[in-house]
Amino acid sequence: MVNLMKWLTLGALAVCLSACADGRQGILGATAVRLSSGDLPPPSTADVAVRQYQVGPLDQLDVDVYGIEALSKREIVVDAAGRFSFPLIGDVAAAGKTPSQIQNEIAARLREKHVRDPQVSVNVRETRSQVVTIDGEVKEPGIYPVLGRMTLMRAVASAKGVSEVARLDDVVVFRTVRGQRMAALYNLRAIRNGMYADPEIFPNDIVMVGDSPARRIFKDVIQVAPVLSYVVVALL
């Protein structure tokens, strides 16, 4: 019973994927997509760095060395090669490392330069390397950072929630697992009602919220109604 409420048929998902591909080639491309009748498997470490956030190219970092003004409140952009330069110690390889690993490396290298007991902090200001794309019937479609653990509900909330014409039982998640493009269909209403667990969303996933034709027609009627009323009054 839970599975029936959890998933629509694979045939319906295939129709949805076809529609998505027709209208959003720029996002989905022409790669064949494998349909999943159960939870999508998590991506491998080769597909994406999971769990602990790992810094990547073009990420923006805030680096502070407590008590040393010249080394404090520095806004740093990791270059395309995954490196950045820091005073006294030169280049730092950041890509693939967590913020705590980077701050430990900076502290160790500063000690080598005779800085006594350096207290270093590294925080991610903005990420461009680990993101999720949220599209379709959400209020603010776009690309959003994945910091820590993100679920489907949190991903949709990041885009300011669903629009007035969203179809809650038609939410597709696309994911690449070991080089294979996969997709599964979720029901946001069932998740909200605790029917099944809120699935985890990983960096590079694409979340597509479907459109309800009935809701769209109703919205259009409501918008047109005041105009019709005005026409009727004018005729009278």
Residue ranges covered by each domain of the chain: 2-46+130-217, 60-126
Please state the rounded mean pLDDT for residues 101-113.
95
Please state the rounded mean pLDDT for residues 85-109.
94
pLDDT bracket for residue 10 (50, 70, 90)? very low
Please state the rounded mean pLDDT for residues 181-192.
90
Say how many C-beta atoms besides its own lie within 10 A of residue 99's C-beta: 20
What per-residue confidence (pLDDT) applies to 23?
Answer: 43
Tokens (6 digits) for 148: 């820590």
| Cβ(17)–Cβ(30) below 8 Å | no
What per-residue confidence (pLDDT) applies to 100?
Answer: 93
What per-residue confidence (pLDDT) applies to 46?
Answer: 59
pLDDT tops 60 at residue 37: no
| Cβ(35)–Cβ(10) below 8 Å | yes
CATH class, domain 2-46+130-217, is: alpha beta
pLDDT tops 70 at residue 227: no
Kindly report the pTM of this predicted structure: 0.57
Q: How long a stretch of residues is the chain?
A: 236
CA distance 89 to 74: 14
Right CATH for 60-126 from 3.40.50.2300, 3.30.1950.10, 3.40.47.10, 1.10.357.10: 3.30.1950.10
Please state the rounded mean pLDDT for residues 1-29.
45
Please state the rounded mean pLDDT for residues 36-58.
68
Q: How far is CA 157 from CA 53, 74, 161, 229, in A?
A: 20, 31, 5, 37
